[in-house]
Amino acid sequence: MNNVVLSDKVKKALNNQLPILALESSILSQGMPYPNSLEFAKKAESLCLEAKVVPATIAILKGVIHVGLEENQLREICEKETIKKISLRELGVAVSKKWDGSTTVSSTIQIAHGCGIKVFATGGIGGVHKTPPDYYDISQDILALSNKPIIVITAGPKAILDIEKTIEALETASVTLLGYKTKEVPSFYSIKSNCFDLHQVDSAREISEVYTKNIEVGLSSSTLVCNPIPKKHEIPANEIKEIIELACTTAKNRNVFGKRLTPFLLNEIVKKTRGKSLSANIELALNNISLGIDILSYLK
Ligand code: PSU
Ligand code: MN
């Protein structure tokens, strides 16, 4: 890929076919407040390193796409308030305008796959937003998942979304939907959604097998693994439902839409849950990284 700088560790791992786990940076810049974001980023990196997996956090610094960040770069992405949220359609703009930017699920998929990385762990994917009349918002994450055959691990569509419509959109996009030890779509902060549409897989080995078969049959879409938040960190759906509804109404009243919507909603929910949703977000993302590490041990 052009305009991409690989960190030394990532370069070495790619040359020697060692396990690499892609990580996004929008979750750090827009998804979590500082300094929690940096604490999370450091934990994420050390989880990988302890398991001899190379973490490849992806971000754009002064128009250069970096795959694998040094500690000072990671700090910059978490700390600086001017980092832009860059999804797929803005990659070329960010590079040509020499912006600092964090990558969302869609742009991270594009870059990770372009570099030959097979597994990417995130928190929650974007999808179809709840639609009050006269409102329409579907994340590019769905298109990216449709176009690149990699494994993406998520705790489900973010709870702020319309889960059923998101699942339908993923079906239209021919994304393979696997549930780790469940058939029910997890909904980010919660284990439940009442939407039972996943193919259950019970081990990391099974996930790697489905992905390998997807590649063998020539699928161009992703294998999306839905991994529920661990029970002890869950915020039950009925507990958070009203808070989410309130956040959506506040967004509408303040005319927040487009790329600002998801970060706005997440931040409102952190305020209204007095930080409980932030801890849940961190725990589910770390849980996804752990599963990603396990899956990598079965991939050649
Ligand atoms: N997951 C999180 N926190 C986040 C996001 C995901 O736990 O902040 C980010 C991801 O980068 C995802 C993006 O791709 O939100 C979706 O934004 P939108 O709905 O505008 O497409
Ligand atoms: Mn959107």
Q: Of all residues in the chain, what percent are helix, strand and coil, respectively (each to 5)?
A: 50, 20, 35
CB burial readout 63-98, b (16+ within 10 A) else e = eebbbbbeeebbbbbbeeeebbbbbbebbeebbeee
How far apart (Å, rounded) are the C-alpha atoms in residues 16 and 226? 29
| pLDDT score, position 259 | 93
Q: Helix (H, G, I), strand (E, B), or coil: what is residue 179?
A: strand
Ligand 1 atom nearest to 158, measured from its CA: 1
Query: In this predicted model, what pLDDT tens digit does every residue of 140-183 receive, in sequence order?
Result: 999 999 999 999 999 999 888 999 999 999 999 999 999 999 99
Question: How large is the average pLDDT for residues 109-129?
Answer: 96
Question: How large is the average pLDDT for residues 7-28?
Answer: 98
| pLDDT score, position 159 | 83
Q: Which ligand is nearest to the CA of 33?
A: 1
Residue 132: which pLDDT band, with cuts at 50, 70 and 90?
low
Is residue 35 reached through a cis peptide bond, with omega within 30 degrees of 0 on the bond before it?
yes
Q: Helix (H, G, I), strand (E, B), or coil: what is residue 278?
A: helix
How far apart (Å, rounded) are the C-alpha atoms in residues 100 and 20? 24
Residues 6+ apart with CB under 8 A from 70: 7
| CA 216 vs CA 116, 149, 210, 213, 289: distances in Å | 16, 11, 10, 5, 25
| One-letter identity of residue 57 | T
Percent of the chain scoring above 70 in pLDDT: 99
How far apart (Å, rounded) are the C-alpha atoms in residues 133 and 146? 27
Choose which residue among 85, 104, 256 to substitute to test ligand 1 binding: the one with the highest number of ligand atoms within 8 A of its C-beta.
Answer: 104
Instruction: Give yes or no for residue 203 having a pLDDT over 90.
Output: yes
For the entire predicted model, the pTM comes to 0.97
C-alpha dihedral (25, 29, 35, 36), degrees to nearest 10: -60
CA of 95 to the centre of ligand 2 (A): 21
CA of 46 to the centre of ligand 1 (A): 23
pLDDT averaged over every residue in the chain:
96
24 is a catalytic site residue: yes
Catalytic member of 118, 148, 158, 259? 158
Q: Helix (H, G, I), strand (E, B), or coil: what is residue 226?
A: strand
Question: How large is the average pLDDT for residues 58-77?
Answer: 98
Choose which residue among 109, 122, 161 to substitute to test ligand 1 binding: the one with the highest number of ligand atoms within 8 A of its C-beta.
Answer: 122
Instruction: Give yes or no for residue 135 having a pLDDT over 80.
Output: no
Domain of 127, in residue numbers: 4-296
- Domain count for the chain, please give it: 1
Query: In this predicted model, what pLDDT tens digit does every residue of 187-197 receive, in sequence order?
Result: 999 999 999 98
192 is a catalytic site residue: no
| pLDDT score, position 142 | 97
Looking up residue 18, the CATH number of its domain turns out to be 3.40.1790.10
Instruction: Give yes or no for residue 133 having a pLDDT over 70.
Output: no
- Name which residue sits closest to atom 7 of ligand 1, judged by CA: 123
How far apart (Å, rounded) are the C-alpha atoms in residues 151 and 122? 11
Give the angle 207-212-217 at the CA atoms, nearest 5°: 125
Q: Which ligand is nearest to the CA of 110?
A: 1
Question: How large is the average pLDDT for residues 243-260?
Answer: 92
